[in-house]
A and B are shown apart, each in its own frame.
Chain A
Amino acid sequence: MVSYSELPNPAHNTGDAPTQLEIKLRRKARINSALRYTVLAVIGLIMVYPLIWLVGASFKTNSEMFSSPGFWPSEPTVQGYIDGWKTSTPYTFGHFFLNSLWIIIPKTIGTAISCTLVAYGFARFEFPGKNILFATVIATLLLPNVVTRIPQYLLFRDIGWLDSFLPLWVPSAMAGDAFFVFMVIQFLRAIPRDMEEAARVDGATTLQTLIFIVVPMLMPALISVCLFQFMWTMNDFLGPLIYISSVEKYPVSLALKLSIDTTEAFAWNQILAMSVLALTPSLVVFFMAQKYFIEGISTGGVKG
């Protein structure tokens, strides 16, 4: 219980006893908020239940999986994790995690650098054809990814990049993700130009201004970009499926599917256990960068 003195009491700063009306109002406010939080908690729980079930089920035996609807395993076991980690291939799941990282890290860095350069150009400079180019970038936002898959596939096949990570890295490193470019532009538009002008008066070149002044101010937006790119790439299934053919190079998303393909009676506990592991990196990264992430998307959206 909260005592009177702890509650905000603007009318009685002098320490007078609260009136009957005030007591009534405060009680009403407390009941109100209790109601609000209960409703929110219930709805939140319903939404997050599949995830809770996933985690619980990953500790169940395969036979218990569909026999009991509850999420709490009756006989908790980590056998699913042990078997799942071994996989049915010559590689352990750790290998696929490394593959995923090997796709994600260069791609994320490439995205951050290329998007910053392109967004800086669009947000701060006037050049011939700027409007048409910008419209083109935005138009690609509206284009479903799938549409470009086939021409892209043919292109990369002709260059000879199939079964390598290059088709996954290069488009992003060329600012191919219009969404991120747009996001950074919006963020940049909200930042006054004075700092950059001050840097130019201080003698900085365009590139020095970008690196020493703009990039540090863009950090929240860049962290959001990296975070999105990390999570989306981690979860990307179609891209690796099309371009990567040898199991040795499979990322986690494909490896998960692998265990469904090769087993006749699906070992659901293994699949779920590995799904839980596959979720972990995104969650960890998200919570680590949460503060900047929220700053990044809210500033970019509201002030832009």
Chain B
Amino acid sequence: MAELQLKSLEKTYGNGFKAVHGINLEVKEGEFMVLVGPSGCAKSTTLRMIAGLETVTGGEIRIGDQVVNDLVPGRRGIAMVFQNYALYPHMKVRRNLSFGLRLKRQPKDQIEQSTQVVSNILEIEELLDRLPKQLSGGQAQRVALGRALIKEPDVFLFDEPLSNLDAKLRASMRVRITDLHKRLRSEGRPATVVYVTHDQVEAMTMGDRICVMKDGHIMQVADPATLYERPANAFVAGFIGMPEMNLVPAVLSSNGAARLTLAGQTIMAGPDLTARLQTADGAVTLGIRPQHLEVLEDGAAEAFSGTISNLEFMGHEVNVHARVGDATFVAVVPTERFDTTLQRGDKVGLRPIAARLHLFDPETGENVSLADQNS
């Protein structure tokens, strides 16, 4: 096992398109790092560069203390799990698992033993003599996982491994992979993992740390709680969390205490926010998670007055969509606290919980309300 370092890593394609813009990332030994972002954010390209399946056009990739830029994939000490499993269709599971070891000309009894150990861990012993086409999606993914595991690589690379599975199986495979990672750690052979996904649930539940990417840039690298509570910018704030964080243009005036003006209504944002502020007065993007927006009766103090435009009953909670001027807010209200007399078109008060309010620079998207935590 080893740590992985990306230094000013760049990828420019032959047609001049720059996919990766000099990213820096350090994955510690034994760490589970998730690369997450919308389609086209170059997370897969980055992973494929680490694997050696894409050439590096700038910067450096280090695994352990070795620069691997020009090494062929087989010599990098990596193993990769592909989205569509990529099992060799003409080989039985047993040979699929041992293909890498056989190429390395390991002794037969050793290969046999490794195959047994791995198939035992992944509970695929009874599948060893089947062909890939005789496996279900979940089984195939476990074999693909086994093929990576058997090589005992320095770094595991996962390229959206669960996105071809149905929701239920995805949830159980998620747990299986994190369990496996913990188990290897407790057995004293921690596995360094880079896991690419576009699914924020996977990212949040699996990663020790998460690297959020957009258009070939890293937006933030942090543990899941930090990403959720202290997003570095509006993109991360909007990307992480369900439903999405409300991001609404507003005007800040902090004459002693911060005030926010939106659609002609002004509320006091409270001393907590004032203390955190890093910005001058003017236009800002107000960010508040739906879970941190209280729905009160119309006219409540320090609340925006809005009109309900839609109500979504989710079972344990209700999503309240309300319009304030041109902006739409979504608030999540636990079902037991929801006032069932509310209907579309009703007026309500929306009060952001001050401690959970974020303000972003409308130009750069940077979070300008993190001062106290950063200093």
Which residues of A approach B to under 8 Å, CB–CB? 126, 192, 194-195, 197-205, 208, 212-213, 216-217, 219
State whether A204 touches B90 (Cβ < 8 A): no
State whether A192 touches B99 (Cβ < 8 A): no
Query: Which residues of chain B come closer than 8 Å to A197, judged between CB atoms?
Result: 51, 53, 73, 80, 82, 86
State whether A198 touches B103 (Cβ < 8 A): no
State whether B86 touches A202 (Cβ < 8 A): no
Question: On chain B, which size bracket covers the interface?
Answer: 20 to 34
A35 CB → nearest B CB, Å: 39
State whether B99 touches A202 (Cβ < 8 A): yes
Query: Which residues of chain A come closer than 8 Å to B51, judged between CB atoms?
Result: 197, 201
State whether A202 touches B74 (Cβ < 8 A): yes
Taken together as a complex, chains A and B put the C-alpha atoms of A200 and B82 apart, in Å, by 13
> Which 4 residue pairs of A and B lie closest in terms of their CB atoms, listed nearest first?
A203-B74, A194-B86, A202-B100, A216-B90
Query: Which residues of chain A come closer than 8 Å to B86, judged between CB atoms?
Result: 192, 194-195, 197-198
Chain B residues numbered 82-131 whose CB sits less than 8 Å from any CB in chain A: 82-84, 86-90, 99-100, 103-104
State whether A208 touches B103 (Cβ < 8 A): yes
B158 CB → nearest A CB, Å: 12
B86 CB → nearest A CB, Å: 4
State whether A204 touches B82 (Cβ < 8 A): no
Taken together as a complex, chains A and B put the C-alpha atoms of A126 and B78 apart, in Å, by 25
Query: Which residues of chain A come closer than 8 Å to B292, judged between CB atoms?
Result: none
Partner of B82, one of A126, A194, A205: A194
Interface-central residue, B51, B73, B78, by most chain A CB under 10 Å? B73
7 additional contacts (CB under 8 A) given A198-B88, A202-B99, A219-B90: A200-B72, A201-B52, A203-B100, A204-B99, A208-B103, A213-B88, A216-B89
Query: Which residues of chain B come closer than 8 Å to A194, judged between CB atoms?
Result: 82-84, 86
Partner of A217, one of B73, B84, B90: B90
B154 CB → nearest A CB, Å: 13
State whether B80 touches A198 (Cβ < 8 A): yes
Q: Is B75 positioned at the interface, with any CB of A under 8 Å from its CB? A: yes
Taken together as a complex, chains A and B put the C-alpha atoms of A124 and B100 apart, in Å, by 21
State whether A192 touches B84 (Cβ < 8 A): yes
Q: B85's closest neighbor in chain A, by CB?
A: A194
State whether A198 touches B74 (Cβ < 8 A): no
Query: Which residues of chain A come closer than 8 Å to B79, judged between CB atoms?
Result: 201
CB<8 Å pairs between A and B, sample of 16: A192-B84, A192-B86, A194-B84, A195-B88, A197-B80, A197-B82, A198-B80, A198-B82, A198-B86, A199-B99, A200-B74, A202-B103, A202-B147, A202-B151, A213-B88, A219-B90
Chain B residues numbered 35-92 whose CB sits less than 8 Å from any CB in chain A: 51-53, 72-75, 78-80, 82-84, 86-90
A205 CB → nearest B CB, Å: 8
Taken together as a complex, chains A and B put the C-alpha atoms of A217 and B131 apart, in Å, by 13
B77 CB → nearest A CB, Å: 10
Partner of B80, one of A201, A205, A208, A212: A201
Query: Which residues of chain A come closer than 8 Å to B14, judged between CB atoms?
Result: 126
B211 CB → nearest A CB, Å: 21
Partner of B73, one of A192, A200, A208, A212: A200
Taken together as a complex, chains A and B put the C-alpha atoms of A204 and B103 apart, in Å, by 7
B291 CB → nearest A CB, Å: 39
Query: Which residues of chain B come closer than 8 Å to A202, judged between CB atoms?
Result: 74, 99-100, 103, 147, 151
State whether B74 touches A201 (Cβ < 8 A): yes
A284 CB → nearest B CB, Å: 26
Query: Which residues of chain A come closer than 8 Å to B75, judged between CB atoms?
Result: 203
B73 CB → nearest A CB, Å: 5
Q: Given A192-B84, A195-B86, A217-B89: A201 and B103 within 8 A (CB)? A: no
Taken together as a complex, chains A and B put the C-alpha atoms of A276 and B110 apart, in Å, by 57
Query: Which residues of chain B come closer than 8 Å to A213, judged between CB atoms?
Result: 88
Taken together as a complex, chains A and B put the C-alpha atoms of A126 and B89 apart, in Å, by 26
A201 CB → nearest B CB, Å: 5
State whether B53 touches A204 (Cβ < 8 A): no
Query: Which residues of chain B come closer than 8 Å to A200, judged between CB atoms?
Result: 52-53, 72-74
Query: Which residues of chain A come closer than 8 Å to B53, judged between CB atoms?
Result: 197, 200-201
A18 CB → nearest B CB, Å: 38
Q: Given A200-B73, A202-B100: A195 and B89 within 8 A (CB)? A: yes
Query: Which residues of chain B come closer than 8 Å to A195, judged between CB atoms?
Result: 86-89
Query: Which residues of chain A come closer than 8 Å to B90, judged between CB atoms?
Result: 216-217, 219
Q: Given A204-B74, A204-B103, A208-B103: A199 and B88 within 8 A (CB)? A: yes
Taken together as a complex, chains A and B put the C-alpha atoms of A203 and B87 apart, in Å, by 15
